[in-house]
Amino acid sequence: MRALVTGGAGFVGSHMVRTLLEQGHHVVVLDDLSTGHADAVDARATFVNGDVGRTAEVASLLREERVEAVFHFAAKIRVEESVVDPRLYFQGNLVATLAFLEAVVDARLPLIFSSTAAVYGVPDEVPIDEEHPKRPVNPYGDTKLAVERALEAYGRAYELPWCALRYFNAAGADAEAGLGERHEPESHLIPIVLDAALGRRPSVSVFGTDWPTSDGSCVRDYIHVLDLAEAHLAALEHLRRGGKSGAFNLGTGRGHTVLEVIAAAERVSGRRIPVVSADRRAGDPAELVAKVERAEKAFGWRARRTSLDDIVRDAWAWKLRDGRQS
């Protein structure tokens, strides 16, 4: 298969590129490197430095590269930034994606879209199934939901086969392949905790210790990035078999508190991690855990790397390696 991966220089996208290549597929990466890293793009892929919002350029790329399937990862992903600078998100995630879809729809290619648990907002109950009301509480979630709505309508009207995959908390790494999580500035829990273990930060602030959870800190469903990549392939195969388009949660179905993540990082690294209690972070739900049966029923996917220690161990292996490089 010949696949286009937008955002292939980013965290999840770069793991997708590698998974595709390992399975013998031909991969074209389209990324503007605004947040991604050129060195994360596997040398076996064809790399194009460009903007997904330029319809004509995307259309010629699809044609010239004879692309058969599209994985659309390129997006801005920082919730807090989306509140402070929403234009970046409505332009970068929504307007640019609609322009991108112009080319994809015309080429009638199956599309796998990176969505997020942020489309649910603060859930009424956990685990969350795909029919749960969608009430995003920040512009990031708004833009992802808006694209999902466009996909629903385009799918019906233009026979576009699509899957929107709603990631819970992407984590882990493929350290052996030289791939891992690097955001600048870093805002995600596991890299922050591991930086503290390495002494690159003095401590970890736990945002809220009075949530109605087992230990008072927030619960999240951490999913290994390699499980995410496998889910994308399974979703695409489902579409290519003529399976129904739609949205699917990608999580493990199990939640862990922030303090449990820190304890796992201490076990894995063998280092003590200083913790400071901080105020709740605006917009954080107490608990986000996926119901995962829909993806399993539709395309036989279930997360395999579900041990929190293993997920953190892979992220730690990457941090040690990344630390040597920097």
Residues noted as catalytic = 140
Does residue 290 touch ligand UFG according to CB under 6 A?
A: no
Q: Which is nearer to ligand UFG, 103 or 118 (CB)?
A: 118
**Residues 8-47 interacting with ligand UFG (rule: CB under 6 A):** none
**Residues 132-151 interacting with ligand UFG (rule: CB under 6 A):** 140
- Could you tell me if 162 and 112 are in contact, meaning their C-beta atoms sit under 8 angstroms apart? yes
For the chain, the residue count is 326
- Could you tell me if 128 and 287 are in contact, meaning their C-beta atoms sit under 8 angstroms apart? no
Q: Which is nearer to ligand UFG, 109 or 261 (CB)?
A: 261
Q: Kindly report the number of other CB atoms within 10 A of residue 317's CB atom.
A: 17
Taking CB under 6 A as the criterion, the residue among 46, 187, 213, 306 binding ligand UFG is 187
Taking CB under 6 A as the criterion, the residue among 46, 88, 200, 207 binding ligand UFG is 207
Nearest to 307 by CA among 142, 172, 106: 172
Interface segment toward ligand UFG; rule CB under 6 A; list 41-49, 111-119, 153-161, 300-308: 111-119
Taking CB under 6 A as the criterion, the residue among 205, 213, 237, 305 binding ligand UFG is 205
Does residue 129 touch ligand UFG according to CB under 6 A?
A: no
257 strand-pairing partners: 219
16 strand-pairing partners: none
Does residue 195 touch ligand UFG according to CB under 6 A?
A: no
Does residue 260 touch ligand UFG according to CB under 6 A?
A: no
Least separation in angstroms between residue 194's CB and ligand UFG is 12
Least separation in angstroms between residue 161's CB and ligand UFG is 25
Does residue 281 touch ligand UFG according to CB under 6 A?
A: yes
Taking CB under 6 A as the criterion, the residue among 18, 134, 182, 220 binding ligand UFG is 220
The shares of helix, strand and coil residues in the chain, as percent rounded to the nearest 5, are 45, 20, 40
- Could you tell me if 262 and 220 are in contact, meaning their C-beta atoms sit under 8 angstroms apart? no
Does residue 213 touch ligand UFG according to CB under 6 A?
A: no
- Encoded tokens for 188: 């995600």
- Could you tell me if 194 and 268 are in contact, meaning their C-beta atoms sit under 8 angstroms apart? no
Interface segment toward ligand UFG; rule CB under 6 A; list 9-17, 21-29, 41-49, 182-190: 182-190
Task: Assign 3-class secondary structure to 110-163.
Answer: CEEEEEEHHHCCCCCCCCECCCCCCCCCCHHHHHHHHHHHHHHHHHHHHCCCEE
Least separation in angstroms between residue 22's CB and ligand UFG is 26
Does residue 77 touch ligand UFG according to CB under 6 A?
A: yes
- Encoded tokens for 186: 């870093």
Helix runs in the chain, H state only: 11-22, 55-64, 79-84, 86-89, 96-107, 139-158, 189-197, 225-240, 258-269, 293-299, 308-325
**Residues 303-322 interacting with ligand UFG (rule: CB under 6 A):** none
Does residue 173 touch ligand UFG according to CB under 6 A?
A: no
Least separation in angstroms between residue 258's CB and ligand UFG is 4
Nearest to 187 by CA among 92, 284, 96: 284
Please report, as ranges, the residues that interact with ligand UFG according to CB under 6 A.
Answer: 77, 79, 116-118, 140, 169, 187-189, 192, 204-207, 218, 220, 258, 281, 284
